[in-house]
Structure formats: C-alpha cells, structure tokens
C-alpha cells in the first residue's frame, strides 16, 4: 500500500499534477457528566443564556483551530461580527472570530445593559447604554473571552478568537473538518463550553486526511 502511494505521488510530480492538501476531520463527543464546575465570574454569574431553546439551537458543540501556525498570514477579520443584547440574553451565545475582528454589542432591549469581560485575552467594560445604542470592541489577541452583563448576572456569552484561517465549528451531529492544511506537525485546540480546553498534537501529511474522535 505504501509503495502504491509513493508511485502515485511520483507520477503527480512528473506530470505536474496538484498534490492533494489534506486536512483534519472527525467527530466531537460530549460527556455531560465531565463538565467542569464554573469558577470565578462564571460561578458568580452562573445562569446561562443557553437555558432558552432559541439560543441553544445556535450553539456549536465545539470550536476547533490550529494553534500557533508557523508563518501564518494575518487572517481576514470577520465582517459584521456582533453579539446583540435581546430579551435579556446574548445572541449568539457563542461567537467565533479571527484576530483583528471588531465586534459590535448592540442593545435591542428596552432596558440598560453593561457588557464587560475580565478575560486575559481581552478585558473591557462598555458601561451602561440604552436601547438603540451599540458599542464595539477590537479583539487583537487569540484566546477565549467570556462576556457578561454587569446589571444582569444571568447573561453570559463566549467569544472564541482564533489566530489563523485553520478553524471550524462542529456541525449539528458533532462532525467537523479543517481542510487544505499544509503538511506538518501542529497543535489542534478543541474548545467546548463547560469543559476544559483540549490541546491535541497532530501530524498532517500530503494526500491523506487525519481522522479523530475528540471526547470531552
């Protein structure tokens, strides 16, 4: 089998055929009993917006991305990124963006809100503002940002700031794929709400996808 692969690759080089850029694909499996206990602000502001069915339907099971990709170009910022305050919840509850993206926080409620975060990745406090107003934050560092409302302790959202274009969100069934990754050794980061972050060493080769099952 290995010899056949070598012959195929040699023919592709001889005839100047494109080499298939492989990727990482697989499935995320969630063990509900393994969820981490909230701490810090997450414990104090312990109710979660995903208790509402509308919000829960939009949540990905996990977000996955390649960490510290060598020589990676600055990714394009996500356009029109926003987390709205509506019906005293954050919409969406989980937002994935690239480094350099500016996120708007419009208030669509009849009451005041005060959006803030004390996360190491990005600390900010937008102060109180009324319906129809919006304030924005530029996220210039990769990492996980937990967002709260200083007035309403049940409001809690997450912003996943990824460092490059090699990332994805899981589908409804937990499956995922990150394609067109150059060959090499990397660290795959898998984040899932209420679970510890996983960092998985991976090796991507030419013309063969790496398949994984990631359990939380």
Parse the chain into domains and list their residue ranges. 21-215
pLDDT of residue 180: 93
Tokens of 103: 């996120």
As its CATH architecture, domain 21-215 has Sandwich (2.60)
Whole-number Å distance between alpha carbons of 192 and 169: 10
Question: What's the whole-model pTM score?
Answer: 0.80
Do residues 8 and 193 make contact, with C-beta atoms less than 8 angstroms apart? no
**Is residue 143 helix, strand or coil?**
strand
Per residue in 44-81, pLDDT (tens digit) is 555 444 333 334 446 899 999 999 888 767 889 999 99
Cα–Cα dist 128/107, whole Å: 10
**What pLDDT does residue 55 have?**
40
Dist. CA 200–CA 195, nearest whole Å: 15
DSSP letter for 120, please.
S
Q: Average pLDDT for residues 108-129, to the nearest whole number?
A: 97
Cα→Cα distances 39→14, 36, 42, 46, 105, Å: 58, 9, 5, 9, 25
Q: Is the pLDDT of residue 6 over 50?
A: no
Q: What confidence score (pLDDT) does residue 15 get?
A: 46
Query: Do the Cβ atoms of 65 and 166 come closer than 8 Å?
Result: yes
């Amino acid at each position: 089998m290995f010899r056949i692969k070598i012959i195929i690759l040699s023919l592709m080089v001889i005839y100047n055929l494109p080499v298939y850029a492989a990727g990482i694909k697989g499935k995320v499996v969630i063990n509900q009993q393994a969820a981490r206990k909230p701490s810090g602000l997450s414990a104090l502001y312990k109710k979660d917006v995903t208790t509402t069915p509308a919000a829960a339907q939009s949540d990905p099971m996990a977000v996955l991305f390649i960490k510290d990709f060598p020589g990676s170009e600055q990714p394009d910022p996500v356009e029109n990124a926003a987390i709205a305050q509506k019906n005293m919840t954050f919409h969406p509850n989980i937002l994935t963006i690239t480094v350099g993206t500016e996120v708007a926080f419009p208030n669509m409620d009849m009451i005041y809100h005060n959006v803030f975060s004390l996360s190491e990745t990005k600390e900010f406090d937008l102060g109180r503002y009324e319906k129809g107003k919006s304030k924005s934050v530029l996220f210039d560092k990769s990492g996980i940002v937990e967002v709260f409302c200083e007035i309403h302790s049940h409001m809690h959202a997450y912003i996943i700031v990824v460092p490059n274009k090699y990332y994805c969100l899981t589908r409804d069934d937990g499956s995922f794929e990150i394609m067109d990754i150059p060959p090499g050794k990397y660290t795959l980061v898998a984040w899932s709400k209420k679970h510890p972050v996983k960092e998985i060493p991976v090796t991507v080769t030419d013309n063969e996808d790496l398949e994984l099952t990631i359990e939380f």
